[in-house]
Amino acid sequence: MNYTTQMDAAKKGIITKEMEVVAEKEHIDVNALRQLIAEGKVVIPANKNHKSLSAEGVGQGLRTKINVNLGISKDCCNLDGELEKVRTAIEMKAEAIMDLSNYGKTEHLRKKIVDMSTAMLGTVPMYDAIGFYDKDLKDITVDEFFRVVEKHGEDGVDFVTIHAGLNKETARIVKNNPRLTNIVSRGGSLLFAWMELNHAENPFYEHYDRLLDICEKYDITISLGDACRPGSINDATDPAQIKELITLGELTKRAWERNVQVMIEGPGHMPLNEIKANMLLEKKLCHGAPFYVLGPLVTDVAPGYDHITSAIGGAIAAASGADFLCYVTPAEHLRLPTLEDMKEGIIAARIAAHAGDIAKGIKGATDWDNAMSKARADLDWEKMFKLSIDEEKARRYRKESSPENEDSCTMCGKMCSMRTMKKILNNEDLNI
């Protein structure tokens, strides 16, 4: 039986090879997974042209996934450096990579990533349009916008962020409800500017069926972008954000009618006490579609440490229903991240995702923690290193401060509680 997309196959009762891979990774029944995909509650972003992909599922009942942003800019145009980030991100178990290149002819880098990446690849075609055509934003035509989306599909991109919910009505609400930080989404701000300059409707909203045609053709998952995500805690959960979310819910249903898979993007900067409610709002207004969040960053005052502000919010978001976390690095708001910045961002996001999985009871999530706790009780340092989320750092820290007794560390020495309990319970000489 033929099918066009993973959702089309799921509705027809077909088990695809990608579903089998995801079911094995998640230790769940493949038919249960197929049903969730048919309902739109799980997506498997898997472009037909991405041959190196190791499929991942995003959504209800699955492990929280993380995404790594990278890409070149006019000020930092090092292709080899970005490809090294891709290799490192995959080694560090990131499930997704977004190429956010916004300078020059980006096709070469994008194709390189598709060829080498087992992780799913996302892009924001809006970023590419200006460099692709080498013309002013105002002068880019509707046809040209869609030609870029088609090109990304041809190249093998698995999911595209499209800010289709920023229509004229949402733009009116933005203007009538002033924010501290206006529209902070780069793609959203460019679309807003294009609409204002041309006195026109958002082409991705007005011609949404044309977008669905492209996504159905290549099985691209639409990541419905949050142009109005809050860029400060002051702007969180405001009229523009909620209006856009309602529109995204409507667009989700239209995509599902065409068997196009959908994720919803979310905040942004947000106080701790608003995160849980926002996760509930998204799931309600967008009919259970997977939720992909940037952070949320829970304070605005920590440049240089925003991987931490993001991890705090990300853990709460994941515990409250978010399915996919976009990492944030220490360089957020400051500069293009280095390789080391990326590593710190990945670790922080993975910690947040795993903490969320424990809280929402994902099958097998606590097995890793229990194994680590057992190794600590046994003072099995080698096993502790191997179970560490960052093995290299754990080994380096211990090596940098060697204890007198190998079964302890330099924090407690012979007064180590694990050492004391192990020896007492085994009737061994304590010798403190």
Could you list the residues known to form a binding site for Zn(2+), using ranges.
269, 333
Using DSSP, state whether 156 is helix, strand or coil: coil
- Whether the CB-CB separation of 149 and 160 falls below 8 Å is answered with yes
Binding positions are: 69, 98, 127, 163, 185-187, 226-229, 265, 269, 292, 333, 409, 412, 416
Nearest to 226 by CA among 154, 289, 134: 289
Rounded Cα–Cα distance for residues 205 and 224 (Å): 11
115: number of Cβ within 10 Å = 12
- Whether the CB-CB separation of 194 and 135 falls below 8 Å is answered with no
Binding positions for substrate are: 69, 98, 127, 163, 185-187, 226-229, 265, 292
Based on the number of CB atoms within 10 Å of its own CB, is 45 exposed (0-12), middle (13-18) or buried (19 or more)?
buried
CA distance to 29, 60, 62, 221, 275, per residue, from 34 (Å): 9, 12, 13, 16, 29
Helix (H), strand (E), coil (C) string for 8-41: HHHHCCCCCHHHHHHHHHHCCCHHHHHHHHHCCC
Based on the number of CB atoms within 10 Å of its own CB, is 407 exposed (0-12), middle (13-18) or buried (19 or more)?
middle
The alpha carbon of 392 is separated from its chain's Cα centroid by a whole number of angstroms, namely 24
Binding positions for [4Fe-4S] cluster are: 409, 412, 416
DSSP H helices, 360-400, are: 365-377, 381-387, 391-400
